[in-house]
């Protein structure tokens, strides 16, 4: 039987809001308490990378997401016993909203087995020890695809600027944040509109085409190997981009970001020669079903940030 994070909820359907002295009834607010499966840190996970759907509010965090056709806002803090407490404000069915929240925060994806493996791995031990509770926050498949295309062959800061601009143009605002892009919103993007946000023309055309051809709304329903195969049949989607979609959109840790520049540097320093994408693939193979999560930690390894005296070609990075 599958396990999932234990949660409790209490809904107040008649919460009164006061804005500018006027009183009105808002969407139902449900108080929630969730115990994640396995070691989990809300802070480490929420601060893993920039995200237009999340924000920090004091010692708590807020995020917006879709639950069926409805938008939702969650406000969460983590107690010392590991439980997440807070509330969800949405018109959606609360069970559907809780299920989507658990998926988004990977609360049911216990990675204790990965931590055990990392404690015996010479490369992972130190970097994972500092981030034991980290699980990447998930998003929509459409948003993950934009993230993957935006990051091809450029710096992380420029990639974030491009992704932020595309999201600001096409995503829906909710509660002062931006909901993850829906498949329909991404399908409305044209090559020209994506180029306007400084995505390279060939990549812009490939992203717009993939959004039209792929059934992004149902890609999560496919077996992960099938979903990855569908993605890789698309132009300019290779192991790196499809791995990011798997990690951030499909909820799988099985595919590592082979060819990532940080991993190329790590391998170059380990091998004392110019490393290749194949070297990063061979490195990640040892982590099996945890290759994706391992690759995110390895990208933060000290050797991954150290410049080498060897050339690092870019012919297949970020594909």
10-52: pLDDT as tens digits: 555 544 443 344 444 578 899 999 999 999 999 999 998 889 9
What pLDDT is stored for residue 28 in this prediction?
Answer: 87
What pLDDT is stored for residue 309 in this prediction?
Answer: 63
Tens-place pLDDT, residues 244-275: 999 999 999 999 999 999 999 999 999 999 99
Tens-place pLDDT, residues 269-314: 999 999 999 999 999 999 999 999 999 999 999 999 888 766 555 4
Residues in the chain: 319
Domains of the chain: 6-109 (3.30.310), 141-250 (1.10.340.30)
Please return the burial class of 13, using the count of CB atoms within 10 Å of its CB with bins 0-12, 13-18 and 19+.
exposed
What pLDDT is stored for residue 12 in this prediction?
Answer: 55
Tens-place pLDDT, residues 196-216: 999 999 999 999 999 999 999
Q: Which residues of 202-227 are buried (b: 16+ CB within 10 A; e: fewer)?
A: ebbbbbbebbeebebeebbeeebeeb
Over residues 98-104, mean pLDDT: 98
What pLDDT is stored for residue 9 in this prediction?
Answer: 62
Are 227 and 197 a contacting pair, CB within 8 Å?
Answer: no
What pLDDT is stored for residue 317 in this prediction?
Answer: 41
Are 106 and 136 a contacting pair, CB within 8 Å?
Answer: yes
Please return the burial class of 272, using the count of CB atoms within 10 Å of its CB with bins 0-12, 13-18 and 19+.
exposed
β-pairing, 6-12 vs 54-57, is unpaired
Query: How far is the first Cα of the chain from the last one, in angstroms, to the nearest whole number?
Result: 37
What pLDDT is stored for residue 106 in this prediction?
Answer: 98
What pLDDT is stored for residue 307 in this prediction?
Answer: 80
Contacts 24+ apart (CB under 8 A), 164-167: 164/50, 164/52, 165/197, 165/198, 166/194, 166/197, 166/199, 167/52, 167/143
What pLDDT is stored for residue 16 in this prediction?
Answer: 43
Place 319 in a pLDDT band, splitting at 50, 70 and 90.
Answer: confident
Comparing 217 with 1, the larger pLDDT belongs to 217
Around 319, how many Cα atoms within 13 Å sit in the side-chain half-sphere?
12
**The dihedral formed by the CA atoms of 179, 229, 210 and 172, expressed in degrees to the nearest 10:** 0
Those residues with Cβ within 8 angstroms of residue 253's Cβ, 6 or more apart along the chain or in another chain = 109, 111, 114, 247, 289, 290, 291, 292, 293
What pLDDT is stored for residue 302 in this prediction?
Answer: 96
């Amino acid at each position: 039987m599958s396990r999932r994070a234990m949660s409790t909820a209490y809904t107040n359907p008649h919460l009164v809001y006061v804005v500018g002295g006027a009183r009105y009834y808002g969407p139902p607010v449900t108080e929630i308490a969730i115990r994640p499966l396995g070691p989990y840190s809300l802070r480490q996970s929420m601060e893993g990378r920039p995200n237009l759907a999340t924000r920090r509010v004091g010692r708590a965090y807020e995020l917006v997401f879709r639950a069926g056709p409805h938008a939702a806002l969650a406000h969460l803090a983590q107690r010392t016993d590991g439980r997440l407490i807070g509330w969800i404000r949405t018109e959606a069915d609360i069970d559907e909203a809780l299920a989507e929240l658990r998926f988004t925060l990977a609360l049911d994806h216990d990675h204790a087995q990965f931590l055990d493996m990392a404690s015996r791995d010479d490369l992972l031990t130190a970097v994972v020890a500092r981030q034991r509770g980290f699980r990447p926050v998930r998003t929509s498949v459409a948003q993950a695809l934009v993230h993957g295309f935006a990051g091809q062959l450029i710096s992380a800061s420029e990639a974030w600027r491009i992704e932020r601009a595309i999201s600001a143009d096409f995503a829906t605002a909710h509660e002062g944040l931006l909901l993850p892009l829906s498949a329909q919103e991404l399908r409305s993007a044209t090559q020209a509109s994506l180029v306007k946000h400084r995505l390279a023309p060939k990549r812009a055309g490939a992203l717009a085409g993939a959004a039209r051809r792929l059934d992004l709304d149902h890609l999560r329903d496919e077996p992960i190997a099938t979903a990855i195969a569908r993605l890789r049949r698309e132009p300019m989607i290779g192991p790196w981009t499809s791995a990011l979609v798997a990690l951030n959109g499909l909820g799988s840790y099985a595919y590592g970001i082979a060819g990532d520049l940080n991993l190329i540097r790590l391998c170059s320093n380990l091998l004392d020669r110019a490393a290749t994408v194949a070297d990063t693939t061979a490195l990640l193979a040892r982590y099996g079903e945890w290759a994706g999560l391992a690759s995110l930690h390895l990208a933060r390894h000290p050797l991954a940030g150290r410049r080498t005296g060897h050339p690092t070609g870019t012919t297949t990075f970020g594909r």
